Chain A
Amino acid sequence: MDIFLQQILNGLVLGSVYALVALGYTMVYGILGLINFAHGEVVMVGALVSLSVVELLLGTNLGLPAPLLGAVGLMVAIGVCMTLGFSIERIAYRPLRRAPRLAPLITAIGVSILLQTLAMLIWGRRYHTVPALIPPTPHAVAGATITNVQILIIVVSALIMAGLMGLVHFTRLGRAMRATAENPVVAGLMGVNINRIISATFVIGSALAAVAGVLVSSNYGVAHYYMGFVLGLKAFTAAVLGGIGNLAGAMVGGLLLGLIESLGAGYVGDLTGGFLGSHYQDVFAFLVLITVLVFRPTGLLGERLSERA
């Protein structure tokens, strides 16, 4: 029983990070109908930038308190990623709005390769150890353990997601975003500056990605130039699982994927009598995805949309 609970807790931590990243994918998809393939790399940049800032500040020996260091690192990472997201949209996607559907996908792949290589040149190929600013102290919860860092991850993600929901549903910007997602042409006729809304979407998504990057790297204690690709892939899977284009769907999908992965890793061996080990956790995740999509072709919370004309 305690193992079960432990896997649930691990899954929640993993899932909240997936959810944060998945939100970025799903917001862009909802508005542009485009898979922002470079989003995972933005997460990676966020993690590495904050790491460098923290290391720099630690090196100066100013004796700043650890939480402040973390906060400064996070803020700088968010700033850098917002700029990055804004520029990516401007350079690689905006000129291609009327191009064939696959053209922006290819530029996105190009941006992804470019960012990865640049990160490799700047930070090198090695795995960076993330300094533990907050020493992880384990807490016992009904037979399972959870560290304060993990609790922080869950709380921060929950707060951010609540904030985003508030932004989208109760502000002027949010209403404009929803209108643009519904129908960009009509939204434009109603006086919404579509280009600004799209830029805003990318900027917000990139900020979430930066937070996710910092959280995930402090959870595992490592960061490296290749971490964004797989994370992005998983988060995109989560977004599709929940129904892409749907904010609540991305959160549900993210949490669910996290749970599936950690439970899968914990129980696949037992379920198959030791035939399949925990390396199959990804298979498990993708199989669940395929099964869900076969029975609900638009994801768990997706609307029944007809094929885009």
Chain B
Amino acid sequence: MSARRHALVRWLQHDRRAKWLGLTLCIVALVVLPFALDASVGRTWVRVIDLALLYTMLALGLNIVVGFAGLLDLGYIAFYAVGAYTYALLASPHFGLHLPWWVLLPAGAVLAAFFGVVLGAPTLRLRGDYLAIVTLGFGEIIRIFLNNLNAPINITNGPQGVNLIDPINIAGVSFARTTPLLGIPFPGTHLHYYLFLVLAALVMFVCIRLEDSRVGRAWVAIREDEIAALAMGINTRNIKLLAFAMGATFGGVAGGLFSSLQGFVSPESFVVWESITVLCMVVLGGMGHVAGVVLGALMLATLPELLRHTAAPMQQQLFGKVILDPESLRMLLFGLALILVMLLRPAGLWPSPTRRRELTSARAPGAV
């Protein structure tokens, strides 16, 4: 059995036709997925997947900062907020501006990167946990400003948020409406799905390439031992700033996409808990491992939704009444899952091979 499986794996890995076949099947599955979901469990699920893909981009961005460079950032959602509000303010009736998305997404990314550098420049010489609290404070500052900058001059429209944000519009195809393409009607959620999928794949590709690049190796060196990295001639300050800026860029792009998907943003979406959720995705999946982080993001974004839809009917069947409302049950299980997964797999669900090696060899007696 095992030998046969081995042969199968080898065939899949080494035969070029098998590789192409697998890749093609994956792509076909991903292309068909929204239609399959729509037909089987309803359109809300396509939307859940859309959001999960956004979270994947966010988690990959945070992974650069936390996973690669080892800088604990508890205010990452601020960059998401910067991207989202950049898009929202410049493409909505709020200011009467309607700039196109291909201007706004890069603009949001650049602005987020700028904020990343502004935050990072004075604070990056802080030790790990001091940095954590400063980033957390920064996240809160951004949110409080978004919440209160409606008086005396109305810039962000305060707690009410910004409404009626323009959807993304590619070659005359608006992502807000159902559009027939090649005779098949594509609803907006499906179009968003394809766009997000392509972008998430792009971000993944960039991250994987970064990991093995000169910069990526410098990040890992800083994470493992900053003084040694400095001694090896790495300009630690600039390289750390680069990690902050890169992470922020991805956050900014994801924020812009969020605005266009929702059509509405308010400061409510950018609270501390959001930063913490994204951090949980990164750590739970396997810090510093791109595939692990993607797994973590997809799981944490979809499983709670699954629970939301199944918890109440299941209790109805089992006990005849709903004992715990789904929202509380979701939070209870989320908390339990965080604890249990970390206790059983401290390096995450799918850690990178090097990380796993370090962990198993670090169990020398006397190590603290």
Residues of A near any B CB (own CB < 8 A): 29, 33, 35, 91-92, 95-107, 109-114, 116-118, 120-121, 184-185, 233, 236-237, 240, 244, 274-277, 279-280, 282-283, 286-287, 289-290, 293-294, 297-299, 305, 307-309
Contact = CB atoms under 8 A, between A and B. Distances in A.
Contacts of A236: 133
A35 B338 contact: no
A308 B368 CA distance: 12
Given A109-B276, A110-B337, A290-B122, A103 B130 contact: no
A42 to B, nearest CB: 15
A294 B367 CA distance: 33
Contact of A274 (B66, B152, B334): B152
Interface in B334-349: 334-339, 342-343, 346-347
14 contacts: A35-B132, A100-B347, A103-B342, A106-B284, A114-B332, A117-B332, A118-B332, A121-B324, A240-B129, A276-B148, A279-B147, A282-B144, A286-B140, A307-B128
Contacts of B136: 233
Interface in B174-188: none
B362 interface: yes
A297 B152 CA distance: 36
B282 to A, nearest CB: 9
Interface string B301-339: 000000000000000000000001000100110111111
Contacts of A240: 129-130, 133
B145 interface: yes
A156 B104 CA distance: 55
Nearest to B346: A99
Nearest to B343: A95
B141 A98 contact: no
Contact of B342 (A98, A106, A112, A279): A106
B287 A100 contact: yes
Contacts of B347: 99-100, 103
Interface in B96-134: 122-123, 125-130, 132-134
B227 interface: yes
Nearest to B337: A110
A294 B125 CA distance: 8
Given A102-B72, A286-B138, A289-B134, 7 more contacts: A91-B339, A92-B339, A110-B336, A111-B335, A113-B331, A117-B331, A308-B127
Contacts of B359: 99-100
Contact of A111 (B122, B125, B331, B339): B339
Interface residues of B, number: 55
B219 to A, nearest CB: 16
A298 B218 CA distance: 25
Q: Is the interface of A mostly helix, strand, loop or mixed?
A: helix
Nearest to B135: A290
B335 A102 contact: no
A290 B152 CA distance: 26
A18 to B, nearest CB: 14
B226 interface: yes
Interface of B: 66, 72, 122-123, 125-130, 132-134, 136-138, 140-141, 144-145, 147-148, 151-152, 225-227, 272, 276, 279-280, 283-284, 287, 324, 328, 331-332, 334-339, 342-343, 346-347, 355, 359, 362-363, 366-368
A297 B127 contact: yes
B190 to A, nearest CB: 33
Contacts of B125: 297
Contacts of B144: 279-280, 282-283
A275 B324 CA distance: 46
Contact of A106 (B129, B130, B140, B283): B283
A29 B127 CA distance: 13
Contacts of B122: 290, 294
B66 A290 contact: no
B130 A96 contact: no
B292 to A, nearest CB: 13
A97 B367 CA distance: 10
Contact of A282 (B133, B140, B152): B140
A199 to B, nearest CB: 17
A160 B49 CA distance: 52
B338 A106 contact: yes
Considering residues B126, B283, B336, B338, which has the most beta carbons from chain A within 10 angstroms of its beta carbon?
A: B338
Nearest to A35: B129
Contact of A96 (B272, B276, B343, B362): B343
A298 B368 CA distance: 23
Given A100-B359, A116-B331, A110 B123 contact: no
Nearest to B129: A35
B328 A117 contact: yes
A307 B276 contact: no
Contacts of A286: 137-138, 140-141
8 nearest interchain CB pairs? A110-B338, A286-B137, A99-B346, A114-B335, A113-B335, A110-B339, A117-B331, A103-B346
B137 A289 contact: yes
Contacts of B363: 98
Nearest to A117: B331
A299 B130 contact: yes
Contacts of A107: 338-339, 342-343
Contact of A100 (B336, B337, B346, B366): B346
Contacts of A105: 72, 283
A132 to B, nearest CB: 31
Contacts of A101: 128
A101 to B, nearest CB: 8
B342 A99 contact: yes
Nearest to B132: A35
Contacts of A103: 283, 342, 346-347
B141 A294 contact: no
Contacts of A283: 140-141, 144-145
